[in-house]
Structure 1
Amino acid sequence: MKSLRYTILFLMSAMWQIYAQDMPLQLLEEVVVSDSRLERYADGHKVTVLKDSVIKRNGLFLTALLNFNSNIYFKENGLGMVSSPAFRGTNASHTAVIWNGININSQLTGQTDFNTINPFNYSSVGIRSGGGSVQFGSGAIGGSVHLNNDLKFEKHINHQVFTGYGSFDTRSINYSTSFGSEKWSSTVGVNYNSSDNDYRYLETDARNINGEFEHVNLNANAGYILNDKNSLRLYHQSFIGDRNLSGNLVAVGRSRFKDNQHRTQLEWVNFFKSGVGRLKLAYLHEDFKYFENKDSDTFSEGKVTTLLARYAVDLELSKSFRLNSYIEYNNFRALGSNFDAPQRNDAAVTAVLKHTVNNKTRYNFSLRQDVSSDFNAPLVFAWDGSFDIGKNYRVQLNGSRNFRMPTFNDLYWTPGGNLNLVPEQSYQVDLGHRLRWDSLTFKLNTYYIQTENMIRWLPNVNGFWSPNNVDEVRIYGLESEVAFQKSIGENQLIRLNGNYAYTVSEDKASGVQLIYVPFHRANASIAYSIANLGVFYQHLYNGSVSIIGGELDGYQVANAGLSYTIPTKQKLEYRIGVTINNLFNTYYENIALRPMPNRNIQTQLILNF
């Protein structure tokens, strides 16, 4: 059976050699997107893309952006502290984060800390709901978040300086530039954020002690067109973080966490008569030092390095069929105080076949087989498609089998690691509806997910925590999204957005809702601009969640902001703004015993030139 799987996938991957002789040459586009799969091979999925003013409206962290503009629920240990997602009722390790086409979830924890990502550095942030393990690998069970850096090949040069200061001595400065010509393009972004983060806990006399943080982000990207058939692209991202870990209502924090993340990928793109080939080479490194006592020189540490090589072919077989396939190899090497020096080698073969039946109907069928030095990985598959009914209504459907590999921490952590773990598996189906009338778009999705062999850390007979494949989880629910944008006259624009999610995520045996999964969650925002003046308002409702031994109350929190652009006769443009976060001074926790900030003010000055 395995030999048949490999034979099918190999033949699909090799088909480009047969067709490369007869099709018309594909020309380079003026704007090159970093990962076209989100647009080209997601017909049956709900996809939301956030850009420009929406990104810059929501603070310093990716958490804040997605909290108010998506259905993803976040668990934060306080402002700037560790932040993990719960996408469609799944765990933090079930949301894949895709950076310019590659999965960057930690090989130690299996997840990404969303408070280490500054969204200002990206052209767009995409949110793809539902399973995506075939295209995006381990962990893409609840959904995936896509960080994209697009390159513009035309003569241009632009600069932006963003400075901010606010409550709790919170400081930020961001510089970004984009420049290029018809042959080359570059973007650079540098961000520095810090805060004393000593906000007062509402309804108490206590403050958020030991919450200081300091972050530096660097993002540099470049592309060069060698000729009409070949181009090179380089992407780099670095994060350097130093933060104390704040305490809670019953314990004063005294620990400190320093972490560094460096990611570099080089891509060679070759256009031929029937499509395009892409060779990616990537180097990913993450390391941390944890100080139980910030005043001590004693710490535990860990690091992991990933080497990735991928060759992909996006092939136009005919006017109706298109094939995207790739072969990928990963080498992982780790070293740490609690897990010695493990390493792993993984390979994967993937094929996605797209069939455009007519101008109303299209679907994708895809397969992926992973081979690992540590596991017997499952064959995963997916089918998704869409059908247009009239001009305004589209029906979407997708079904898939997905997986998550155990991480180095799951396997090797001392004490507690479990070498007998097997990959998690998930089956799901999703039915979506999309309606569009002029300026109004409405989306409604219902879904069902069943996960087997879920890995969960529990106390064992020896008194310490250890992971086991113990849980079978059933998740079902619905998501809705509405967006409206309308120009009123020459200088007025109004934008409305809203999201609502109903989520049941329960242990299949007991029928009990999993902890930190709200049944109800909703957000809405309105932005209005007239001439040089802009205002916005955001509102978030998060229902109550179960916690160990009880329940955490639901909450509502709102933000509001005002900005004004000062016109000049030169290219230089000034924009000043002020944002009031937690406008109604609401007391709320999204992790038990860890209050979030009270009302606070952030000011901004933006220079464009």
Structure 2
Amino acid sequence: MNKKYLFSAILLCSPMLLLAQEHAIDTVFVFDNQLDNSRKVQKISKLKEEDLLKNTTNLSEVLRFQSPVNIKENGRGMVSSPSFRGTTAQQTAFIWNGINVNSPFLGQGDINNLNLLGYDQLEIKSGGGSVIYGSAAIGGTIHLNNELTFNKGFRQSLFMEYGSYETVNTFLKSSYSDEILSVKFSGNYSESKNYYEVPEKNYQNINGQYQNKNFNLGVAYKIGSGNTLAWQTQHFSGSQHYPTTEFGSRSKYHSDSFRSTLSWNFKSKKIQNILRLAYLEDEFQYFSTIEKPKSSGGTSEVALLKNDFNYSINDDFALNIITDYQLNKGKGYQSGITDVVRNAGAFAALLRWSPHQKYYFEAGIKKDIVENLETPILFSLSGRHAVNHWYSLIFNLSKNFRYPSFNDLYWQPGGNPDLKSEVAHQVELGNNFKYRNLSLSLSPYYLRIKNMIQWVPGSLGYWVPVNTSEVESFGLESQLELKKTFGQHSAKMSVGYVFTHAINKETGNFMTYVPKHKVFGNASYRYRSAELYAQAMFTGLTYTTTDEEKSSAIPSYFVMNTGINIRVLRNQQLGIKINNLWDQVYETSAYYPMPKRNYSIQLLINF
């Protein structure tokens, strides 16, 4: 039996060995327990399923229109990478149910290989988080969360979509829960011919088709009072063809990932302890010519043991101890990377103090031990003061890091085993205002990164990674939200503005693919069974070269989407959406224009 499925079978059977008759109190099992604490001192945008269904093309589209994250996408549905606050994709951590799932090979995640509709909610947290979430949590973290509810009975939902470029998107979710058992299954299949033209750029998106499927299974069981066992597993398989010219070579990329985690949650009046056992496996294959065998590839495995212990000393103080150990393995194909093994462990301690309803303070320290690498001692210091009922002040100071990836260290030719870990210091001052149905957040920040890892041309004719750059970034993240309900009418509006000034200290030039200005907005109006919504995004001039060459820069652009959802029967919702309403010609990555105006029709059935 394949070892990953054997691992899943062990995890699935384990809870059944510990059945008991007592009932726990909790009604929802949340896999990422640390987010609730982070919410007290950091701005976290939470997108629920209803928000995700407004941008069902892929995760890139959701983040582009509904978050401060900057997205660089090589055409619709293609390779895509995120960045926060002037950092890079390698300095952004993807967190799946509390576990860092960045690729050991690349040190980052490809957004469009992280299936959108396989999660119950998506949360975006700006700012450093390495004390809790480890390597790469420098600019921010993107949280892909599943949850299991109790005592809800049977629930099912089916989603179907057909759109331009022969795009098909389907999703099925089914769950059952009673007082002690919760089970949820979901599956998603998406495909698109993805052929589109942009005449103004003399561009045809040839060989741009993609296909992916995703399956999730979660189980939670309450074992007596205060004990819950939970298991979550996910399998994703996707194929992306890379766009080319009419006479160019056609290539493609295939990825396959498997994730599984077993959690034991013990909770009493003063103690909460969560023990996690996880296994992650990622495989990728690149075909430079579709008809020929793969030209490169690799397989990575991560086995993780993590314990999160929280002790309430009294009503004011709580101590949180987080320890983890992980074994990373990597095997490349045509990359010079043979069999690589890396052991890593970490110890973190956080002290939380809440002397009054108006005050909250948190201090953390962490030490990572990574085989054959030096790592810094990390820290975080946060506080919140509710000045009055309409204004609160938040302060964050942290030291974060990223250690080199397998490719950075071992790729041949070029890998550099002498690389140092990137180290970042960040300070943020959050100002939150709230008056009735109106809320406003203003968060100026300053970020400095040392030992930045960059691949540069080497003296022997190939690229090599070196610790060269020092990056300084400062800016502002802000968001205004309004919610209003009157009778059978309800309206919501959210507008965000992001200002980023990110400079390479060595050259004095602006960082590539970092727009100085970004504005994103979402508005919806609902009356009875009908909802009308609109989305808008403005992105300022974006440099694509390190010398700030304006002729090569991506011009500013404004894109707007709109749609309508109508409940045609009690449990059925029909939706129509127009993407890029004003037919804007724009790029998020040089030489890869995004589609002009396009359409989709959706059907959601809850039963």
Q: 2:296 aligns with which of 284, 300, 309?
A: 300
Report the TM-score, using the length of structure 2 for normalisation: 0.93
How many correspondences in the alignment? 578
**Secondary structure at the residue paired with 2:26?**
coil
Equivalent residue, structure 2, for 1:52: 49
Stretch of structure 1 that moved more, 401-410 or 272-281: 272-281
Is the partner of 1:319 in helix, strand or coil? coil
Q: Which residue of 2 aligns with 1:565?
A: 567
In the other structure, the counterpart of 1:381 is: 379
Give the letter for the 2:90 counterpart: S
**Pairing of 1:278-297 with structure 2 (within 5 A):** 278-297=274-293
1:326 maps onto 2:350 in alignment: no
1:508 aligns with 2:505: yes
Letter in 2 for 1:71: P
How far is 1:204 from its partner? 4.5
Give 1:536 deviation, angstroms.
Answer: 0.6
User: How far apart are the structure 1 equivalents of 2:199 and 2:249?
Assistant: 18
Is the 1:366–1:383 Cα contact (8 Å) retained in structure 2? yes
* Identity level (%): 34
Paired position in structure 1 for 2:586? 588
Question: CA separation of 1:462/1:438 partners in 2, compared to 1, >3 Å: closer, same or farther?
Answer: same
Q: Alpha-carbon deviations, 1:142-166, whole Å to 9, x = none?
A: 0111111111111321111101111
Whether 1:147 aligns to 2:144 is yes
Matched, 1:517 2:514: yes
Change (3 A) 1:512 1:67: same
Aligned residue for 2:553, secondary structure, equals: strand
Q: 1:60 Cα deviation (Å)?
A: 3.1
CA distance 1:539–1:41, shift in 2 (3 Å): closer
User: For the structure 1 residues 89 and 204, does the alpha-carbon distance in structure 2 shift closer, same or farther, using more than 3 Å as the test?
Assistant: closer
> Separation in 2 of the partners of 1:68 and 1:393?
27
Q: 5+ unaligned residues in a row in structure 2: which ranges?
A: 1-22
- Residue 483 of structure 2: aligned partner: 485
Distance 1:293 1:141 in 2: 37
Q: CA deviation at 1:273?
A: 4.2
- What SS does structure 2 have at the residue aligned with 1:375? coil
What is the CA-CA distance between 1:567 and the residue it aligns to? 2.6
Deviation of residue 531 (structure 1)?
0.8
Over 3 Å counting, the alpha-carbon distance change for 1:204 and 1:372 in structure 2 is: closer
Amino acid paired to 2:261: Q
Contact kept, 8 Å, 1:279 with 1:310, in 2: the verdict is yes
> Deviations for 1:225-274, whole angstroms, at most 9, x for unmatched residues?
011132100011111011211126x9845111011011000011122342
Report matched runs for 1:254-403 at 5 Å: 254-337=250-333, 338=335, 339-403=337-401
Whether the 8 Å CA contact 1:350–1:368 is kept in 2: the answer is: yes
Distance 1:197 1:27 in 2: 49
Shift of 1:412: 0.4
Which residue does the alignment assign to 1:529?
A: 526
The answer on 1:170 being equivalent to 2:167 is yes
* CA distance in 2 between partners of 1:119 and 1:438 (Å): 33
CA distance in 1: counterparts of 2:214 and 2:523, whole angstroms: 30
1:451 matched residue in structure 2: 449
Deviation at 1:510, TM superposition (A): 2.5
Aligned to 2:122: 125
The Cα of 1:488 is off from its aligned counterpart by: 1.8
Does residue 216 of structure 2 align to residue 219 of structure 1? Answer: yes
Could you tell me which of 424, 440, 443 is aligned with 1:442? 440
| Aligned match of 1:14 | none
For structure 1, list consecutive stretches of 5 or more residues without a partner in the other structure.
1-25
Residue number in structure 1 paired with 2:6:
none
Distance 2:372 2:268 in 1: 38
Partner secondary structure for residue 66 of structure 2: coil
For 1:236, which of 233, 237, 246 is the aligned residue? Answer: 233
Counterpart residue number, 2:459: 461
2:24/2:227 contact within 8 Å kept: no
Aligned to 2:472: 474
**Judging changes above 3 Å, is the alpha-carbon distance between structure 1 residues 292 and 142 closer, same or farther for their aligned structure 2 residues?**
same
Q: Which moved more, 1:217-226 or 1:31-40?
A: 31-40
Aligned to 1:411: 409
Q: CA deviation at 1:323?
A: 1.5
Runs (4 or more) in structure 1 with deviation over 4 Å come to: none
Distance 1:27 1:349 in 2: 30
SS in 1 for 2:199: coil
2:132 paired residue among 131, 135, 138: 135
Identify the match of residue 556 of structure 1 among 552, 558, 571.
558
Tell me the distance in 1 between the aligned counterparts of 2:499 and 2:138.
18
> Does the CA-based 8 Å contact 2:113-2:255 persist in structure 1?
no
Residue 79 of structure 2 corresponds to 82
Per-residue CA distance 1:456-486 (angstroms, 9 max, x = gap): 0111001111100000010000010011111
Is this contact kept in 2: 1:282–1:308, CA < 8 A?
yes
Q: Which residue of 1 aligns with 2:25?
A: 28
Residue 179 of structure 1: CA displacement? 1.5
Distance 2:198 2:457 in 1: 32
CA distance in 1, matches of 2:180, 2:79: 41
Distance (Å, rounded) in 2 between the aligned partners of 1:355 and 1:42:
15
Residue 445 of structure 2 aligns to a residue in which SS?
Answer: strand
Task: Write the distance in 1 (CA, Å) between the matches of 2:596 and 2:473.
Answer: 33
1:41 and 1:364 in contact (8 A); partners too: no
